[in-house]
Every structure is written in C-alpha cells, then in structure tokens.
Amino acid sequence: MTLIAAKWTIDEYHHMIEAGILDSRKVELLKGEIVEMSPEGEPHAYCSHEASDYLTNFLGNLATIRQAKPITLPNDSEPEPDIAIVQRLGREYREHHPYPENIFWLIEYGNSSLEKDLEIKSKIYAEVGIPEYWVVNLKRSTLVVFREPLDGEYATKLTLTEGTIQPLAFPDVLVSVVQIIN
C-alpha cells in the first residue's frame, strides 16, 4: 500500500490559519506540506535576536529585517525564516508577506533543525530564485552561505567562521561573520 500525503495550497493554508485550526501549533508550509517547527533553544533565540538587531542597526534604511515572520513562495511554501532581509515596502506587507522578488537574503539558525535548513529549505529557496541564503550551524559556530540559485539548487556554497562577507544585494556592505554566528 502506498501512502500519499495530502498537499495544501497557500490559499488553503491561509484559510486554516484564519479559521484558527493551527492556533496551537508552531508550523510552516513547505512544498505543500504542513511541517512542525522545532522549538528554539536559548542559543538559537539569543543568536538570531542579536544578529537581527545588528543587521537592523547596520543596514539602516537599506532593508527591513523581519524576524521569524512568514514569506510567501510560489512553490506552495510559506516558511518562517529566522531572519529575512527584505525590501522596505512598509504597509504593503499588511496585504502580503514578502515574495521572492522582495527578498534580499534569508538566514536560518540550525541546531536540531540543521538538516532541514541545509537540505530541504535550501532547495525550496533556490527553486524560487532567492539569490542568497545563510545557515548558521549553532553546533559548529559556522556560517554556511548559499548563492547562485540554479536548477533548484544553489551553485555556490561556502562555510565561514570569521571575517566579513559582502551580501550580494549590497556589495558595498561588509557584514561581520562573528556578529551573525555569535
């Protein structure tokens, strides 16, 4: 017997949210499947919050920093990345979450969710053309940088532990790796 999982569209997912069906669950929609999100441990909560503050102060008016808020993707996904660096569209975000064309780059912090962040989410983000995706490996204190989405995967992947990195969206800006991973 073959089991087939029920797939959900973004509209159906939004209807469930509006109806309160998912109120007591911490979930996100990935490729049409409603997936439980891992709870945040102290290092995850601390590091993502500090990095969000750093980027907010550092980038100023260049971008909006959204922490643990949904983004809407055309592959029936509505993940909630730990940090989304997006265009400053102000009240437009009352009408919709950021779409791929509004996203400069995304950051996930992984400990228990590391495999999902490195394998599943990297493909979901590459598939819709998110130009840059960073994963902080909390176990190893490293920053894994994915760039150049190509055929549903990122063509470039590098791992950093120190120094600075220039986000593709802002080549004149140098972001401290230590500020992001610690």
Domains and CATH numbers, the chain: 41-181 (3.90.1570.10)
- Radius of gyration of the chain measured on its C-alpha atoms: 16
Residue 20 has pLDDT above 90, yes or no: yes
Reported as a pLDDT band with limits 50, 70 and 90, residue 6 is confident
Alpha carbon distances (Å) from 40 to 49, 65, 119: 11, 19, 19
Q: What's the helix, strand, coil split of the chain in %, to 5?
A: 30, 30, 40
Contact (CB, 8 A) for 77 and 103:
no
Q: What is the pLDDT of residues 47-80, one digit of tens each?
A: 999 999 999 999 989 999 999 999 999 999 999 9
Greatest C-alpha distance within the chain: 56
Instruction: Report pTM.
Output: 0.94
